């Protein structure tokens, strides 16, 4: 009986209740998307391999290293594999079609990154074609490419019109793997540099190093940097996690601001819901007094008011959660150049439900106190 009364009271004023549900749903939607954004910002750090190191120029990532370093790095105890590459920064059609593109040593790079899964025939075709390239599944779908297509990028860091033949389409081994990247042969880039700008040839932007044991990461990093200490191009070697964290730390203040905004959204809708419940309680003071005369105690009235508030908030929360998935899909599809992966995690869903319940609970505190403590005589004198 009490549950039936709670549900009927929740939608007695249909317009007010529906507007409150919509408000809560929008707030939960915004909260969920913002929390997803914060979580995905750190995804690269969380997905980093414990057995991979990154070696770059000690001054800055924009300065290069000689390709000759690879042979000396291989000799460092604990090094299992080594690959190298450059950030290419090419533009396809125009800046709106941006996607990450790299020049890499194909065979060793794919061995170091098993999360990029290629069919064996496509992998073989890519490795043996100097002008070959591979692209992620999402990137291919967005641009309508197919294997064998000729793709032209306009160089920015490396000027010119660069032509590639798409030899493979990789998929991510995990759902969180970035499927919007583009890779091609470092040798193709280097040979062109030898012909056009010889002073920029035989230079790499980074080395990716696989170690035999994650416990040796710090020791190997130190050994590599000592090898090139006092050279013309000193190195800085760190774990892939630390390397990714370096980029994240540049925008950490923005992430903190986004987290604060996500909580502010919940506080605002909490105030709105509290105002709605206060209006409801004020209108029903006479009813609460009547219930007391019929033998209902303060506990029953409190459960009724709390239940009504929580029902409205939770319904709004569920609607907001249901809207989060198509919104996340739209972001992942239409804004893939900024958010190659935008999947809502179970933790975010739990936080959404918790936020919705908290809104309903806190919004009902004052109305509950007012309804449960009203004296019968005072309540029956109230009109409206």
Nearest alpha carbon to residue 348 among 47, 45, 41, 39: 39
Distance (Å) of CA 23 to CA 184, 187, 268, 302: 49, 56, 10, 24
Kindly state the average pLDDT of the residues 249-261: 76
Residue 13 is predicted with a pLDDT of 73
Cα(61)–Cα(237) distance, integer angstroms: 11
Residue 307 is predicted with a pLDDT of 78
The listed range with the strongest mean pLDDT (14-18, 84-88, 323-327) is 84-88
**Of 98-102, 220-224, 372-376, minimum mean pLDDT range:** 372-376
Give per-residue pLDDT as tens, 94-149: 888 888 999 999 999 999 999 899 999 999 999 999 999 999 999 999 899 999 99
Task: Output 18 or 375, whichever has higher pLDDT.
Answer: 18
> Is residue 208 a contact partner of residue 111, using CB atoms and an 8 Å limit?
no
Question: What percent of the chain has a predicted confidence (pLDDT) above 70?
Answer: 83
Give per-residue pLDDT as tens, 154-185: 998 999 999 999 999 999 888 778 888 999 99
170 beta partners: 136
Give per-residue pLDDT as tens, 8-57: 766 777 777 788 888 889 988 998 888 888 777 766 656 667 789 999 99
State phi, psi for 237 to the nearest 5 degrees. -115, 130
The CA-to-CA distance between both ends of the chain, in Å, stands at 25
């Amino acid at each position: 009986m009490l549950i039936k009364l709670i549900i009927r009271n929740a939608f007695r004023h249909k317009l007010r209740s529906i507007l409150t549900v919509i408000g809560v749903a929008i707030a939960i939607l915004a909260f969920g998307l913002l929390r997803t954004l914060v979580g995905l910002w750190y995804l690269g750090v969380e997905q980093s391999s414990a057995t991979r190191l990154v070696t770059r120029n000690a001054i800055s990532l924009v300065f290069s290293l000689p390709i000759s370093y690879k042979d000396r790095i291989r000799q460092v105890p604990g090094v299992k594999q080594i690959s190298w590459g450059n950030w290419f920064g090419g533009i396809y059609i125009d800046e709106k079609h941006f996607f990450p593109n790299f020049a890499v040593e194909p065979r060793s790079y794919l061995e170091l990154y098993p999360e990029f899964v290629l069919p064996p025939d496509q992998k073989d075709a890519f490795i043996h074609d100097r002008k070959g390239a591979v692209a992620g599944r999402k990137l291919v779908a967005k641009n309508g490419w197919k294997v064998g297509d000729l793709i032209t990028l306009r160089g920015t860091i490396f000027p010119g019109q660069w032509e590639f033949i798409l030899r493979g389409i990789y998929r991510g081994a995990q759902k969180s793997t970035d499927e919007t990247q583009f890779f091609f042969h470092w040798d193709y880039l280097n040979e062109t540099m030898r012909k056009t700008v010889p002073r920029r040839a035989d230079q790499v932007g980074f080395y990716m190093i696989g170690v035999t044991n994650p416990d040796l990461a710090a020791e190997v990093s130190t050994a590599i940097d000592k090898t090139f200490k006092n050279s013309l191009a000193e190195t800085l070697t760190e774990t892939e996690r630390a390397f990714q964290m370096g980029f994240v730390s540049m925008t950490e203040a923005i992430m903190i601001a986004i987290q604060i905004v996500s909580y502010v959204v919940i506080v605002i809708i909490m105030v709105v819901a509290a105002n709605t419940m206060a209006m409801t309680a004020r209108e029903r003071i006479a009813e609460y007094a009547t219930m007391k005369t019929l033998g209902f105690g303060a506990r029953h009235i409190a459960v009724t008011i709390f239940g009504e508030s929580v029902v409205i908030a939770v319904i709004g929360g569920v609607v907001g959660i249901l809207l989060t998935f198509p919104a996340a899909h739209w972001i992942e599809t239409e804004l893939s150049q900024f958010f190659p992966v935008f999947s809502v995690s179970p933790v975010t869903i739990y936080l959404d439900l918790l936020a919705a319940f908290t809104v309903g609970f806190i919004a009902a505190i004052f109305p509950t106190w007012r309804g449960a403590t009203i004296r019968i005589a005072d309540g029956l004198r109230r009109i409206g």
